[in-house]
Amino acid sequence: MIQNTTEIKAIVFDCFGVLVPDFNKQLLASATYSARTVEHINELRRQTDLGEISDSKFRQEFERITGIDYSLESRVKNAKKELNHKLLGLIKQLKPNYKIGMLSNATAPHLKAVIKACALKDYFDLVLISSKLGAVKPEPRIFEILVKKLRVKFNKTIFIDDTKENIKSASALGIRGVLYTNPAKLKEDLRDLLI
């Protein structure tokens, strides 16, 4: 068990790219799409993550452009298959001493389906979904909402994400950001922050 010897009160994890792979990023990286196509898909995803367009509308457009099955069922199946069990083990060790949160740029149907299929509910004290908040990472507002809902101060929070821009934004507010690469490195980074 990792003991809390600092004043850190909460540790927050991103979902896609940390707990489960970010299949949207993987699909775009594995195929040859023009920069304009990738930019268009990323803009659609941003609108979806903000709740401006539905998950099904994004899926239809993604499938039209790429020809790849992007159904909710296929995404949930992939998430369950690729779930980061080592990271879940680490979260179990952390949970007795910290508030554990999840902050994800996602739609509610997608993230809720992943949480249910992967049995993640009991790992987290708080789950925040960008499409429900009307704000996305790296916008500072989403981190302000996060600490308010957790009832902790910025400097008492660690945020773990696989995107440098999100870490930079959280850190600018005083949150201790950790760039996620793999479970072993994360455990080492947390030990450095928590001792």
Q: Which domains does the chain have, with CATH numbers?
A: 10-21+83-194 (3.40.50.1000), 23-78 (no CATH)
β partners of residue 157: 10
To which residue do tokens 């009832």 refer?
151
Instruction: Tally Cβ neighbours within 10 Å of residue 98.
Output: 23
Q: Which two tokens stand for residue 132?
A: 């429900």
Give kind and range of the element (H or E) at residue 91. helix 85-94
Q: Which comes out higher in pLDDT, residue 185 or 68?
A: 185
Question: pTM above the 0.85 mark?
Answer: yes
Tell me if 163 sits within 8 A of 17, measured CB to CB: yes
pLDDT at 2 over 70: no
What are the tens digits of pLDDT across the range 160-184? 999 999 999 999 999 999 999 999 9
- Give the model's confidence band at 4: pLDDT under 50 very low, under 70 low, under 90 confident, else very high: very low
Mean pLDDT of 39-58: 94
Tell me if 11 sits within 8 A of 158, measured CB to CB: yes
Phi then psi dihedrals of residue 126, to 5 deg: -150, 135
